[in-house]
Amino acid sequence: MTHGPAEGSRALFEALYDDEDAVVRALRAGASAESSDTEGTTALYLASVQDLPGAVRLLLATGADPNRASGPDAGDLPLCGAACGGHAEVVGALLSAGAEPDLSEEFGFTALRWAAGLGHARVAEVLLAHGADPDQPGPQGEVPLVVAARRGSAHTVRALLRYGARDLSPALEEAGRMLTLDVEQELRDALHRMYGGEGHESVVRRAPVDGGVTVTVELLRGGEPFASQDLQTGHAAIATLLESGLGLRAPFEELAVRALRGGGPELDNWLTAVEALSRYGDEETFQAAAAWTASEDPLRQRFGVEVLARLGSGTDDGPFATRAALLLRELARTAAPEVAAAAGRALDGYGAEPTEPGGRAAGGPAGS
């Protein structure tokens, strides 16, 4: 069924592939903002999935219903289509025009369920800010927090926690399960179950996304990709975040393992472990960090440096400031370049030069 003159509807759909001026001309020529094509796809749905925020706003301003379902079986929602594609600006425009954030489309998927399952953290944030229920179950009864934990999107998990998601224990269990798996092999196995493992080559791609790494496995046919699946790798950070939310304390060595296998000092797995250890703030953690700085592994040394820097609190009156400064100054002089540079940056964070008992500057010669 179409709304408005058939010619106007065709012109509107063609205009969506052109530019916003063309959309304006089609609407002024009499096309209805509620137009749909012969398969029941609405113009608003198409603009939403194609990430055309300007066209979406024009259609909404001229009467398109943001909650009207689309497709042959009226099973698709513009908000879900935009969320599935990660189109945060379109999602925001639809919500501002009255789209219901928790409306389910066919099979029970909500926009937040799509965002959580695909790791679209910014979309999840926008949905939650507009009132989406962080605990509304999806098709299999799983809440978004569990789905985001499986996906490995630490940013999405953080957003859900900020907006009051409650089912932390099952999400922690899922993050822990994922930590035991080889993500690359898991993706390859899933593709082989769907398409068969015979005669298909595969390639693996890794890309930085939202403080982590997204791993994509593609199956090739004749050298060209024809199927793919991907996951993010923030499961260690997610486990640490959820433990913190539950008041649990992971062993310091487990946090070190999570950080070191998580990809590097700039990634969430590392940063979240450092943050957790800094909150421990006890002698046992200090001693562990000091031991890490004596490791033969430069990456473990650097991890120890960053924990010491946080335990020292960046001031001269922190409980571990004096001893941390001594160790950091020695590392700045003697360690490998990257570790020495990290130690130097940590020392720069101190507001005043820490002093040893007796009043002399930490690390300076006696009587100086």
Show the tokens assigned to 282: 């006890």
Task: Please report, in angstroms and rounded to a whole number, the separation of the first and last CA atoms in the chain.
Answer: 89
In which element (H, E) is residue 95 found? helix 88-96
Per-residue pLDDT tens for 154-185? 999 999 999 999 999 999 999 999 999 999 99
Contact 147, 115 (CB under 8 A): no
Residue 364 reports pLDDT greater than 60: no
- The residue ranking higher by pLDDT, 112 or 360, is 112
pLDDT over threshold 90, residue 141: yes
- Assign 189 a pLDDT band (cuts: 50, 70, 90): very high
Q: Which residue has the higher pLDDT, 6 or 139?
A: 139
**Whole-number pLDDT of residue 5:** 46
Q: pLDDT tens digits for 311-322?
A: 876 555 567 888
| Cβ neighbours, 10 Å, residue 38 | 11
* pLDDT tens, residue by residue, 48-104: 999 999 999 999 999 999 999 999 988 999 999 999 999 999 999 999 999 999 999
- The model carries a pTM of 0.89
Q: Where are the domains of the chain?
A: 6-179, 183-234, 281-368
Distance of CA 273 to CAs 100, 149, 264, Å?
37, 17, 12
User: Cα separation of 331 and 262, whole Å?
Assistant: 24
Return d(Cα 285, Cα 279) in angstroms, integer. 10
Cα separation, 3 vs 365, in Å, equals 86
CB 151 within 8 A of CB 117: yes
In one letter, which amino acid is 246?
Answer: L
Residue 368 has pLDDT above 80, yes or no: no
Q: How many CA atoms lie within 13 A of 187 on its CB side?
A: 22
CA nearest 236: which of 254, 251, 209?
Answer: 254
Q: What is the CATH architecture assignment of 6-179?
A: Alpha Horseshoe (1.25)
Over residues 267-304, the pLDDT tens digits come to 999 999 999 999 999 999 999 999 999 999 999 999 99
User: What does the pLDDT read at residue 275?
Assistant: 95
CB–CB of 339/305 below 8 Å? Answer: yes
pLDDT of residue 224: 93
What is the reported pLDDT for 230?
97
Q: What is the pLDDT of residues 2-54, one digit of tens each?
A: 444 456 688 999 999 999 999 999 999 999 999 999 899 999 999 999 999 99
Query: Regarding predicted confidence, which is higher, 232 or 347?
Result: 232
